Amino acid sequence: MAEQTPVYRHEWKHELSFQDSLILRQRLRAVMEPDIHAVNGKYFIRSLYFDNGNDKALREKLDGVNRREKFRLRYYNGDPSLIHLEKKSKLDGLGTKFSADLTAEEAQKLIDGELDWMLDTDRPLVRELYVKMRSQGLRPKTIVDYTREPFIYRPGNVRVTLDYDIRSGLGCTDFLNPRAVTVPAGDAPILLEVKWDAYLPDLIRDIVQLPGRHVSAFSKYAQCRIYG
């Protein structure tokens, strides 16, 4: 399987109040398309983030390191029949994401530290994670749960999401267990994320601007680690 070519995208994040989210939701619905994968306009996301014993991914995020990456497993709406291994990378404020599909059995082996199977795959990202688990000591760290409302605007390949009800696994890595206990990640805000390619259309730029709200560096993973 060929290596994926990185496509770097711009990203804004804004922390919203509940009142902000009500206003913004109506604006977005008026001009943007719903994501076809959403159920009643939203979906539930469960992620399992990886870090090492020195909390490399967490510290690089908190310190604002210019070039950084983090690995996670993810599935949607409580359905582990399709699991994504993802690597998110940041460079000069731009972001890109690499992805590979895993079976539930492969994901559980990875979580349990059974890694040899990763060398026999044609998925480059799986092999990369194997190397970094061996060389950097990356291990599953904590579950992060939240609800997402996604919106799409095709000019500029714009994606806007509202994320809320962010919950921390408090060190729990029982990723495939739907009854795994998670708790609210402190006083986490509602998070607006705006992602686009080469340009952000003025229409969307105007819609997402709210008085007193500025670009934020909020991280759901960091928030969940602070509270667990």
Homologous superfamily, domain 10-226? VTC, catalytic tunnel domain (3.20.100.30)
Q: Residue 4: what pLDDT?
A: 62
Q: What pLDDT digit, counting tens, does each position of 83-104 carry?
A: 999 999 998 888 999 999 999 9
Sketch the domain layout of the chain as residue ranges: 10-226
Q: What is the DSSP string of the chain?
A: -PPPPP--BEEEEEEE-HHHHHHHHHHHHHHSEEPTT-BTTBEEEEEEEEE-TT-HHHHHHHHT-SEEEEEEEEEETTEEEEEEEEEEEEETTEEEEEEEEE-HHHHHHHHTT--GGGGG-S-HHHHHHHHHHHHS--EEEEEEEEEEEEEEETTTTEEEEEEEEEEE-TT---TT-TT---EE-SSPPEEEEEEESS---HHHHHHH--TT-------HHHHHHHT-
**How much is the pTM?**
0.93
Q: What pLDDT digit, counting tens, does each position of 42-79 carry?
A: 999 999 999 999 999 999 998 989 899 999 999 999 99
Q: What pLDDT digit, counting tens, does each position of 211-224 carry?
A: 777 778 889 999 99
